[in-house]
Amino acid sequence: MVEYVFKTMRQIVDFVTKAMELIKREQVERMIEILVETYKSNGRSKILVMGAGRSGLVGRAFAMRLHHLGYNVYVLGDTIVPRIGERDVVIAISGSGSTKLIVTAAEAAKKVGAKVIAITSYPDSPLGRLADVVVEIPGRTKTKREEEDYFARQILGIHEPLAPLGTLFEDTAMIFLDGVAVELMHRLGKTEEDLRAMHANIEL
């Protein structure tokens, strides 16, 4: 009964645990440095978070935490998205790094001088190549190229993933970005009470 529920949960947990050891600390540090610098602009700099599909939902969750931390943050696709300029930062989330919508939007951001942070499994992808900072998050993406399946199976030791499509990347990225939010809390001297003060008090 319900054997796949718990097998899949275990596989995801094991994958994330192994992925933690593969994420490059220097990439994460550079991302954090940019976000701290952005915070210190006292609202003059904006952050635009973007991702398609489930990666977009991961991005929305991270954008909410950035808002709670006091950032001037927006999500691509929302009705209210301001003009982006050279002092601003774009965080683009794409496992494959080749999602056309995200690559096109990142290219537009680069043209106006914004910094682009790419969260992807493939630093040599179109998104990775144009980004100022790449944080490489291991994961099996939904693209069915052999080398992508090989990356997840061999490096992380998972041979026949139960989690379909981009689940492993999306879940790993979600947990990673939650960790980034906590790191920012400490570096910015924020408490949970500070975050609670920024939380919505009118909700549906």
Contacts of 110 (CB under 8 A, 6+ apart): 116, 130
User: Would you name the residues annotated as active-site residues?
Assistant: 170
Quote the CA–CA distance of 89 and 54 in Å, as a whole number.
21
The HSE-up count of residue 196 (CA atoms within 13 Å, CB side) is 3
184 beta partners = none
Amino acid of residue 54: R
